[in-house]
Structure 1
Amino acid sequence: MGEKITIRDVAKHAGVSAASVSYVLNGINKVSDETKERILTAVKELNYEPNLTAVSLSKQKSNMIGVMFPLTDDSLSTIFKDNHYYSEMISGIEYVIRKHGYDLVISGASSPADCLKWIRTRNIDGLLFLGAFPHRLYEKMKALSNPIVLVDTYERYERDYHHISVDDEYGGYLATTHLVNLGHKEIAFVAHHLVNSPVDKKRYIGYAKALKEAGITPSKTFVFEVNESSFDNGYNLGNKLLQDYKDIRAVFASSDTLALGIMKALQEKGKKIPQDYSIVGFDDITFSSYASPSLTTIRQDVFNKGVVAATSVIQAIEHRFSTLQHVKLSVELIIRDSTAKRG
């Protein structure tokens, strides 16, 4: 194995000083274009690989963007397996940050202290927080100088951080209005923690608004909460509906993953979708169109949501905005084969 190429070797090859090479590698505009070209040619010819740690320290920039998930137990290990919403959003985030020369690091936050330690030991340039976290964590994060973008958070902390969301309330309204227009009155709403999930709370508000407009009084009897937005929880809830809530013939689930689990349970018990039950989801993840029958859902472009979130944090890192960015993305009803007029 040959000796490792150094900055001095590059400088000698290009006929310049080591300082000039350092300027170019660190993006400091202190040399002429002609000198810069000679240095870059030397780097290529010698296959020189700069020490990225040293470069990041000299720039006081790591080129790393962190993504944090709320963690109450060891759920991060299964979060991408159980909930494809996150997988699709991470794909959008990764696509953008890689294109801009950043690296992605992912972790779960179970306490403010652990979160701060994780951020500081990795010299993270910027952060994306996906989902709702304990209030004390948002308070602790104010001490950081790192740009922070919140995704899917409807709290008072929007005044302190950049924020990306979709029109969740309108999505809940669209889904429920669609079922009402098909003649359904006993419509279940399935959510992941109405108290702890501000997104589901907004979707419930839209659900209740649509019912009231149709002259239907929202009933707590028809509202179901699960501890995680997973296929298995949807499946278990579907069996519960069959056993204990025989009047319900329509379901609006706050995620496609839950909706698909519910649909699977109903079908296994011989129920036909949509003849016996109409099911509407939320997200329009890829699997929704592949299901049998294909799932009627509220489309939020999850991949694009990740793209917008990543773009926002990169802009905040590179331009240090004096004003906070708040972006609300649109939603639309996608009618497929899982809903029909009540017979």
Structure 2
Amino acid sequence: MAKSTSKDVAKLAGVSQSTVSMILNGKKDVSFSRETVDRVLNAAKQLNYKSSLRQGGEKQNNGKAIAVFCANLDNPYYTMLIQTISNLSENYGYSMLVCDTHRKYSVEAGYIKFMNNMIAGAIYTYLPQYTDLFQKISNRVPVVVLGDKDETVTSDSVELNSTKCGKLIAQYLLSLGHKKIAYISTPISDQMLARKRRVEGVLQEYEQHGFPNGVIVRASTGNYNDRESPINEEYCAGYNLTQEILKEGDHGISAFVGLNDMVALGIMDALADGKYRIPQDYSVVGCDNNIFSRLASVSLTTVEHFVNQKGEDAFNMLINKIQHKYTSKPEILPQKIVRLEYEPKLIVRGTTGSNKRK
């Protein structure tokens, strides 16, 4: 029986050969309807056809996987990234190994030891905290980092400047007349660079506008290297710390800012349980623009930093590094570090309004 070609797939799916090529090879910067994609994928499966790019990838990966390190699976930020990377991995014939580390040294070390020669490359969805472990895996396979801007990272990276996120939120709240706000976060430390920079951005902006005491910062505590990270840590931080502030009495606060959307959801529930109205009594802002924040019943004002697109770029960087590793001679491989930075964008929804508590 003759081997199927892309022309056969195009004929069965009722599309052009170029459409088949772009869909099966995961070409960027083009889009097709879900119906068209499904027709092409079903036709390729029916004919047992694989594109030359995917066939080449399978020869290179030799049954290996892409490892994806994430801090937790409670936050939709990470699950959105994982879904994006998973879809692309499948297109290239790779399996995916999800490593849920809770930022714990022992867990991350255990994954790296377990992998041995199982993986072709790795993506960190947060800034690596343990230099020795990161170096160990980087010496073995290509690695790409998704995280805050950090010049010390010695691998390709897709970056976000969290200081800009903080400044963007602060500028918006100040424009609405919110001169005293509360900032709620999970533990903040030098190791948690994104968390530290985000709150610094808020503080810097308020100080520059003449309100050096305009931000009350509350962060949960805990050393999650020594014990299990609590379930729903971020939501619980938002809920519990907001209740704590409300019980203390009136600080003159007119708005709450969450480190991310999950913290902001906790803030919103605490305010609702206290019979406060959003945004009439308090405005609330998050960061990430996750799937929950977009729900009509939530309508959270937040910061978009393009999670799915960052996942795509990180994966494409990694595939490029893997393919160069297999197709180029080591002595002529260029030594370069690629850094791609995304600009944050404020998304205004129903949880913010002008300060009514003046």
TM-score for both structures, normalised by structure 1: 0.74
Q: Deviations over 1:252-293 (max 9, x none)?
A: 111011101110110111000001101110000111121535
* 1:141 Cα deviation from its structure 2 partner: 3.3
2:212 match: secondary structure: coil
Do residues 258 (structure 1) and 263 (structure 2) align? yes
Task: Tell me which of 312, 333, 338 is aligned to 2:346.
Answer: 333
**1:294 — aligned with what?**
299
**2:22 — aligned with what?**
none
Higher normalized helix content (fraction of residues) = 1
Cα distance in structure 1, aligned partners of 2:246 and 2:283:
14
**1:239 — aligned with what?**
243
Q: How does 1:299-318 map to 2 (within 5 A)?
A: 299-318=304-323
With 198-207 and 170-179 compared, the bigger mean Cα shift is at: 198-207
Equivalent position amino acid for 2:81 in 1: M
**1:269 — aligned with what?**
274
Do residues 141 (structure 1) and 115 (structure 2) align? no
Task: List structure 1 segments (4+ residues) > 6 angstroms apart after TM superposition.
Answer: 55-58
Question: 1:229·1:255 contact (CA, 8 Å) conserved in 2?
Answer: no
**1:280 — aligned with what?**
285
TM-score for both structures, normalised by structure 2: 0.71
Do residues 342 (structure 1) and 355 (structure 2) align? yes
Do residues 99 (structure 1) and 103 (structure 2) align? no
Q: How does 1:1-343 map to 2 (within 5 A)?
A: 61-70=62-71, 79-80=72-73, 82-109=74-101, 110-111=105-106, 113-122=109-118, 124-132=119-127, 133-144=129-140, 146-155=141-150, 157-158=152-153, 160-195=154-189, 196-218=191-213, 222-226=216-220, 230-244=234-248, 246-247=250-251, 248-290=253-295, 292-320=297-325, 322-343=335-356
Structure 1: runs of 5+ lacking an equivalent: 1-12, 15-43, 48-54, 71-78
1:222 match: secondary structure: strand
State the number of aligned residues: 283
Equivalent position amino acid for 2:241 in 1: L
Equivalent position amino acid for 1:298 in 2: V
**1:9 — aligned with what?**
none
Question: 1:189·1:223 contact (CA, 8 Å) conserved in 2?
Answer: yes
1:240 match: secondary structure: helix
1:65 match: secondary structure: strand
Cα distance in structure 1, aligned partners of 2:219 and 2:62:
43
Structure ID, larger Rg: 1
1:62 match: secondary structure: coil
Query: 1:161/1:245 Cα in 2 relative to 1: closer, same or farther (>3 Å)?
Result: farther
Equivalent position amino acid for 1:91 in 2: Q
Equivalent position amino acid for 2:199 in 1: Y
* 1:315 Cα deviation from its structure 2 partner: 1.3
* 1:58 Cα deviation from its structure 2 partner: 7.9
Equivalent position amino acid for 2:114 in 1: W
Identity of aligned residues (%): 28
Q: Deviations over 1:84-143 (max 9, x none)?
A: 111111111112222222211112343364243123142x00001122422332343343
Q: What is the RMSD of the two structures over their aligned residues, measured on CA atoms?
A: 2.9
Cα distance in structure 1, aligned partners of 2:233 and 2:309:
21
Cα distance in structure 2, aligned partners of 1:121 and 1:245:
57
Cα distance in structure 1, aligned partners of 2:79 and 2:58:
32
Cα distance in structure 2, aligned partners of 1:232 and 1:130:
22
2:292 match: secondary structure: helix
Question: 2:57·2:92 contact (CA, 8 Å) conserved in 1?
Answer: no
Structure 2: runs of 5+ lacking an equivalent: 3-44, 49-55, 222-231, 326-333
Query: 1:57/1:286 Cα in 2 relative to 1: closer, same or farther (>3 Å)?
Result: closer
Cα distance in structure 2, aligned partners of 1:115 and 1:161:
20
